[in-house]
């Protein structure tokens, strides 16, 4: 088998292959795996691949990929989805991705379960950092996190609503990479087989859930396992509509709801004051038999009408997918894994490579289909666009 270098990587899949070589198995499987045996994750990618373009020729023009979202301009309609424990995937990954996002002008979303503090990320990505909240049982923690995010200059909040239970991911389980963490003898062998990861992780210092350390009240801050146990115990499993309304009242900035997978829920989130929706099945990481997020996106857009801001993720690995997601109604086509594979494959250069691939592919796609400006992309650029009524079978409901 040919061993690819970063320079020769031609796709996000190639970056994943390089990342796999460099990362211990438990870390790669935590990144690359999903609920059950990964069928939901594969369904996301397959459903995106099955959407086909209508191609028009002799159009001319220069590719234009910049878009507006919630009053800000981004250079490509993509961004980095929130990822907990990213510094465990590759040392320093949170900062690498935040700096990339700031440099190229796309959103970077910091997870509640991140391994870098809100303040450090906001400093590294002052124009593009958003914050993702996992609601805690203790309201003081939610208020504390939101106050810190606001004080750090963050203005977009995504509240994740699709984690009512700790997920079951079979690839994690086989490594015993669950909480509480009980290392297996194989774990040591895994580290010995990936000395570069082990040495760089030691040098960077053992990662921890930095944003939660202040609330856990543990001696000397506590280890990642101890703070992780606290974070997990705080997870508000019985999240209800009134909890989201309470968060709405606490947050003066833009509020998105992440994990929307139902058109009726989507309309209700807007009615209770959310500024926008984030259609996502968590990259297939929560429910193996969830429908592909791209199929739900069509229904959500039809239900909420043309103006509600919508972010999408789950399965985006190519520029063609970014254009398809725009065509089916989302403003931004984000990804977690695409950027993490890049950062794990080659640090800052690898993250940049992931972005460059997506950007080049998006531009080529726009020119190839004869729709050079991303802002003119609509369902009519798809083969199925000839039958637009299929997408509009749900009556648009009044949102406000």
Pairing mode, strands 310-312 and 332-333: parallel
Tokens of 244: 């989201």
Q: How far apart are CA 315 and CA 39, in angstroms?
A: 12
Could you tell me the smallest distance in angstroms from the CB atom of residue 367 to ligand FMN? 25
Identify which of residues 35 and 366 has a Cβ nearer to ligand FMN in the complex.
Answer: 35
Could you tell me the smallest distance in angstroms from the CB atom of residue 374 to ligand FMN? 19
Whether residue 282 lies in the annotated active site: yes
Could you tell me the smallest distance in angstroms from the CB atom of residue 280 to ligand FMN? 4
Identify which of residues 159 and 302 has a Cβ nearer to ligand FMN in the complex.
Answer: 159
- Phi then psi for residue 158, to 5 deg, are -115, 120
Neighbours of 237 (CB within 10 A): 10
Could you tell me the smallest distance in angstroms from the CB atom of residue 398 to ligand FMN? 29
For residue 92, what are the CA distances in angstroms to 97, 106, 172, 233, 344? 9, 19, 22, 26, 10
Q: How far apart are CA 150 and CA 136, in angstroms?
A: 18
Q: Report the side by side order of strands in the sheet with 276-279.
A: 108-110, 129-133, 156-160, 254-260, 276-279, 310-312, 332-333
Of the residues 57, 282, 393, 400, only one is catalytic, namely: 282
Q: What is the DSSP string of 42-56?
A: HHHHHHHHH--B---
Task: Give me the residues that bind ligand FMN (CB under 6 A), please.
Answer: 30-31, 81-84, 111, 113, 132, 160, 258, 280, 282-283, 285, 313-316, 335-338
Q: Which residues are catalytic?
A: 282
């Amino acid at each position: 088998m040919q061993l690819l270098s970063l320079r020769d990587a031609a796709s996000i899949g190639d970056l994943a292959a390089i990342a796999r070589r460099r990362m211990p198995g438990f870390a790669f499987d935590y990144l690359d795996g999903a609920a059950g045996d990964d069928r939901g994750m594969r369904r996301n990618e397959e459903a995106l691949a099955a959407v086909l373009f209508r191609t028009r020729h002799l159009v001319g023009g220069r590719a234009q990929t910049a878009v507006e979202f919630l009053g800000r301009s981004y250079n490509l309609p993509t961004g980095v989805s929130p990822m907990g424990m990213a510094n465990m995937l590759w040392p320093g990954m949170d900062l690498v991705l935040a700096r990339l996002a700031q440099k190229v002008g796309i959103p970077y979303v910091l997870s509640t379960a991140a391994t870098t503090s809100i303040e450090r990320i906001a400093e590294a990505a002052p124009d593009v950092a958003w914050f993702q909240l996992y609601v805690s049982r203790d309201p003081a923690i939610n208020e504390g996190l939101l106050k810190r995010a606001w004080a750090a200059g963050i203005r977009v909040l995504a509240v994740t609503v699709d984690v009512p239970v700790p997920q079951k991911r079979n690839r994690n389980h086989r490594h015993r990479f669950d909480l509480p963490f009980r290392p297996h003898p194989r774990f040591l062998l895994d580290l010995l087989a990936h000395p570069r990861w082990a040495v760089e992780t030691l040098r960077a210092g053992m990662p921890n859930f930095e944003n939660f350390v202040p609330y856990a009240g543990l001696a000397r801050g506590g280890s990642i396992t101890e703070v992780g146990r606290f974070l997990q115990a705080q997870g508000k499993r019985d999240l209800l509509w009134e909890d989201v309304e309470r968060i709405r009242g606490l947050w003066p900035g833009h509020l998105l709801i992440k994990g929307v997978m139902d058109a009726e829920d989507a309309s209700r989130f807007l009615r209770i004051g959310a500024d926008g929706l984030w259609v996502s099945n968590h990259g297939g990481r929560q429910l193996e038999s969830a429908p592909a997020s791209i199929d739900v996106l069509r229904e959500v857009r039809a239900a909420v009408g043309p103006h509600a801001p919508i972010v999408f993720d789950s399965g985006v690995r190519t520029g063609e997918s970014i254009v398809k997601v725009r065509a089916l109604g989302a403003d931004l086509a984000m990804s977690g894994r695409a950027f993490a594979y890049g950062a794990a494959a080659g640090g800052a250069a690898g993250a940049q490579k992931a972005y460059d691939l997506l950007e080049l592919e998006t531009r080529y796609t726009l020119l190839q289909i004869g729709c050079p400006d991303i802002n003119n992309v609509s369902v009519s650029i798809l083969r199925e666009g000839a039958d637009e009524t299929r997408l509009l079978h749900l009556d648009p409901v009044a949102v406000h």
